């Protein structure tokens, strides 16, 4: 019988890669099938050491902040390990950011160097950074993963490949302490400027290790993901999770439903990470049945709008028996809870908290803990909670109490068996109609069962009498009227929860991680930019 190794708790990703490069040097550590790039653990380690040495040659020191701004590509993973090797602080940047966004992050994070793609889709990253350099005195080095116009060389742009070729090993290893700031992860900023969550290696490596253990990952696994690497689920859960288990990371530059199906079949992937919108797109793809997805044994689906019926369909129809719902956020070093792939509750709940993660539910009005099966705000405590928001002590104090409990801003409840159930979405998305609290997820999960509904987002709209009433944006696969959808709700949920208006949507406004932006839908309704379904 094959000896399947269990995941290991390493101090940082560089130590982890060293271990696997020594134990299994020729096995593939990462694969990016679309550009055709494949690196063994040993090759990954050598390139990371070369880059780390080159950065040190440029004067990057332990504790300096270095940004990465690129789509998912193999250089991202090399850079991540290189920064761990020299003790630099990793600052991932959202691939959707524009000039003002990136300037804010580079300034706020005191970034001394940035590694980037020249461009991705319509975003000209290099041009945007260059246009802001005069306003960024701390930014000393701009390093492009791609070729660029010669005139930019005179403007201080460096070539990633040339840096590697000029690198002088040996590397001066300089690891960070377990509770030092190792990464500043800027949140998406949907309610203003993004805040930088300071994460440490103790929290990140504990989180990725516990996730790998819970999913049963081993060196025989190949884990692919639609999540951008700048997102904590990408660079922590997926990458560090693979390094904890010695599994192979299979990367894609960006999500495309059919290409994802092709890659799962071609690479014989065993684990998959996605969000509800991506799973729906793959489930409903007309060519899905022609692909062999039988190697998938487990996977994760996160998001406050995670519908158990979608997960059950994926488990049965891909097939993907061990798919689990997960719950987490950047400020918790990624995951807070997930279940085992064989748990009967893995679709209906987000599972048990990770070892070392305390979870409680409090009343959103007074902050007092509530009982079992009572919906309230999810709060967490433990070593995986962020150290704080970078250079924002007041925001940190608002988020984390003096006794260490962090407010998540999410609504849910704890079951008697200790499992976390995400019941109401975001606290800010809760609809208050005439004093009654309404949780959009309950309505969304119900209306997704209507045969005409592909996807739905429920949100509040202003009302002179009730303060707020329920509205819904829907994407339809066949003809249906507002009256049809309202009739579907009768007898299943209380009358006051029924949407009073429906709007038809063909293309959703999405965050970079694939979640529907309800604030954009509310604004579109306000500006009469959505077509009402009659």
Within 235-392, residue ranges assigned H as helices are 241-245, 257-267, 276-283, 308-317
Q: State how far the alpha carbon of 107 is from the alpha carbons of 125, 177, 190, 392, in Å.
A: 16, 25, 19, 14
Indicate the burial class of 342 (C-beta count within 10 angstroms; 0-12, 13-18, 19 or more).
exposed
User: Does 188 reside within a domain?
Assistant: yes
Judging by DSSP bridges, how do beta strands 322-329 and 334-338 pair with one another? Answer: antiparallel
Q: In terms of domains, do 411 and 446 share one?
A: no
* Cα–Cα distance for residue pair 85/373, rounded to 1 Å: 45
| Same domain assignment for residues 166 and 299 | no
Q: What is the pLDDT of residue 513?
A: 66
- Chain-centre distance for alpha carbon 344: 25
Concatenate the DSSP letters of all residues of 24-78 into one string: STTSEEEEETTTTEEEEHHHHHHHHHHHHHHHHHTT--TT-EEEEE-SS-HHHHH
Distance in angstroms (rounded) separating the CA atoms of residues 473 and 523:
12
Q: Do 438 and 416 belong to one domain?
A: no
Check whether residue 413 and residue 455 sit in a common domain.
no
Residue where a domain stops, chosen among 197, 213, 234 = 197
Is residue 246 one of the residues assigned to a domain?
no
CB hemisphere CA count around 468 (13 angstroms): 20
Asked if 262 and 400 sit in the same domain, the reply is yes
Neighbours of 442 (CB within 10 A): 18
2 within some domain: no
Do 447 and 412 belong together in one domain? no
Same domain, 161 and 39: yes
For residue 442, being part of any structural domain is answered with: yes
On whether both 157 and 304 belong to a single domain, the answer is no
SS (H, E, C) 211-277: HHHHHCCCCCCEEEECCCCCCHHHHHHHHHHHHHHCCEEECCCCCCHHHHHHHHHHHCCCEEEECHH
Residue at 218 is within a domain: no
| Element containing residue 201 per DSSP (H, E) | helix 201-215
> For the chain, what is the domain count?
3
69 domain-assigned: yes
| Residues 391, 452 within the same domain | no
Tell which phi-psi region holds residue 349, choosing left (phi > 0), alpha (psi between -120 and 50) or beta.
beta
CA distance 135 to 124: 18
Q: What SS3 class is residue 422?
A: strand
294 DSSP assignment: T
| 401/397 Cα distance (integer angstroms) | 6
Asked which of 405, 426, 447 is the last residue of a domain, the reply is 426
What is the predicted pLDDT for the residue at 424? 67
User: The tokens of 269 are what?
Assistant: 């992937």
Q: Give CA–CA dist 74/84, Å, rounded.
A: 16
Count the Cβ atoms, other than its own, within 10 Å of residue 119: 17
Inside any domain, residue 277: yes
CATH number at 492 reads 3.30.300.30
Domain identity same for 263 and 329: yes
- Please give the residue range of the domain that contains residue 436: 430-533
Q: What is the pLDDT of residue 304?
A: 57
Give the CB-side neighbour count of residue 502, counting CA atoms within 13 A. 21
- Element (DSSP H or E) covering residue 185: strand 181-186
- What is the pLDDT, as a whole number, of residue 192? 60
Please name which of 206, 198, 207, 205 lies closest in space to residue 180, comparing C-alpha atoms: 198
- Residue 436 contacts residue 430 (beta carbons within 8 Å): no
Q: What's the CATH code of the domain at 357?
A: 3.40.50.12780
Best CA proximity match to 380, nearest among 340, 428, 330: 330
From 378, 410, 426, the end of a domain falls on 426
What whole-number distance in Å separates Cα of residue 20 and Cα of residue 27?
A: 9
Note whether 188 and 260 are same-domain residues: no
pLDDT at res. 191: 47
Predicted TM-score (pTM) of the model is 0.86
In this structure, what are the phi and psi dihedrals at residue 212, rounded to the nearest 5 degrees?
-60, -40
Q: What is the pLDDT of residue 396?
A: 96
Tell me which H or E stretch contains 19.
helix 13-23
Pair 69, 117: CB distance under 8 Å: yes
If asked whether residues 61 and 120 sit together in one domain, one would say yes
Lookup result for tokens 């692919």: 224
CA distance 502 to 470: 9
- Whether 39 is covered by a domain: the verdict is yes
Q: Render each residue's pLDDT in the chain as its tens digit; 534 residues.
A: 345 688 999 999 999 999 999 999 999 999 999 999 999 999 999 999 999 999 999 999 999 999 999 999 999 999 999 999 999 999 999 998 888 889 999 999 999 999 999 999 888 999 999 999 999 999 999 999 998 877 776 678 999 999 999 888 789 999 999 999 999 999 864 446 789 999 999 999 999 999 999 999 999 999 999 999 999 999 999 999 999 999 999 999 999 999 999 999 999 999 999 988 899 899 999 999 999 999 999 999 986 567 888 899 999 999 999 999 999 999 999 999 999 999 999 999 999 999 999 999 999 889 999 999 999 999 999 999 999 999 999 999 999 999 999 999 888 999 999 999 988 677 878 888 877 778 888 899 899 999 999 999 999 998 887 888 999 999 999 999 999 999 999 988 878 899 999 999 999 998 766 778 888 999 999 888 899 999
Strands (E), 371-526: 376-381, 388-389, 406-414, 420-426, 431-433, 436-438, 453-463, 467-476, 501-504
């Amino acid at each position: 019988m094959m000896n399947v190794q269990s995941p290991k708790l390493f101090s940082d990703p560089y130590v982890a890669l060293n271990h696997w490069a020594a134990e299994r040097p020729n096995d593939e550590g990462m694969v990016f099938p679309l550009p055709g790039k494949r690196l063994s653990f040993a090759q990954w380690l050598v390139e990371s050491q070369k880059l780390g040495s080159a950065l040190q040659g440029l004067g990057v020191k332990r504790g300096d902040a270095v940004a990465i701004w690129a789509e998912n590509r193999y250089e991202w993973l090399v850079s991540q390990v290189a920064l761990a090797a020299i003790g630099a602080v990793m600052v991932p940047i959202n691939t959707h950011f524009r000039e003002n966004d990136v300037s804010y992050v580079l300034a706020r994070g005191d970034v001394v160097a940035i590694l980037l793609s020249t461009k991705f889709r319509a975003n000209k990253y290099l041009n945007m950074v260059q246009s802001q350099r005069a306003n960024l005195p701390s930014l000393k080095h701009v390093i492009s993963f791609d070729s660029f116009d010669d005139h930019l060389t005179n403007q201080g742009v460096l070539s990633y490949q040339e840096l590697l070729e000029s690198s002088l090993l040996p590397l001066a290893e300089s690891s960070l302490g377990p509770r030092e700031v190792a990464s500043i992860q800027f949140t998406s900023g949907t309610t203003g400027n993004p805040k930088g969550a300071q994460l440490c290696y103790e929290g990140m490596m504990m989180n990725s290790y516990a996730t790998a253990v819970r999913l049963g990952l081993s060196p025989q696994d190949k884990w692919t993901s639609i999540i951008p690497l700048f997102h904590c689920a990408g660079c922590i859960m997926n990458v560090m999770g693979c390094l904890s288990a010695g599994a192979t990371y299979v990367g894609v530059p960006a999500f495309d439903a059919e290409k994802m199906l092709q890659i799962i079949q071609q690479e014989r992937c065993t684990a998959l990470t996605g969000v509800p919108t991506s799973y729906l797109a793959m489930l409903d793809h007309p060519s899905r049945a022609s692909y062999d997805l039988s190697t998938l044994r487990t996977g994760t689906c996160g998001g406050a709008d995670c519908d158990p019926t979608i997960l059950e369909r994926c488990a049965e129809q891909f097939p993907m028996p061990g798919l689990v719902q997960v719950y987490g956020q950047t400020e918790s070093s990624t995951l807070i809870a997930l279940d085992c792939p064989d748990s009967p509750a893995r679709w209906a709940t987000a599972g048990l908290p990770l070892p070392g993660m305390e979870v409680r539910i409090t009343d959103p009005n007074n902050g007092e803990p509530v009982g079992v099966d009572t919906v309230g705000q999810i709060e967490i405590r433990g070593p995986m909670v962020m150290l704080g928001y970078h250079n924002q002590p007041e925001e940190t104090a608002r988020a984390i109490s003096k006794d260490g409990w962090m407010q998540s801003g999410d609504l849910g409840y704890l079951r008697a068996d200790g499992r976390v159930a995400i019941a109401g979405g975001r606290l800010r998305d809760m609809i208050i109609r005439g004093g009654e609290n309404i949780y959009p997820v309950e309505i969304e999960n119900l209306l997704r069962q209507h045969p005409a509904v592909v996807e739905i987002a429920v949100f509040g709209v202003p009302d002179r009498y009730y303060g707020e009433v329920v509205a819904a944006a829907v994407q339809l696969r066949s003809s249906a009227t507002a009256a049809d959808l309202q009739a579907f709700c009768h007898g299943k949920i209380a009358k006051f929860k029924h949407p009073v208006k429906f709007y038809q949507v063909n293309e959703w406004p999405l965050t970079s991680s694939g979640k529907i932006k309800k604030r954009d839908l509310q604004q579109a309704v306000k500006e009469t930019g959505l077509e009402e379904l009659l």
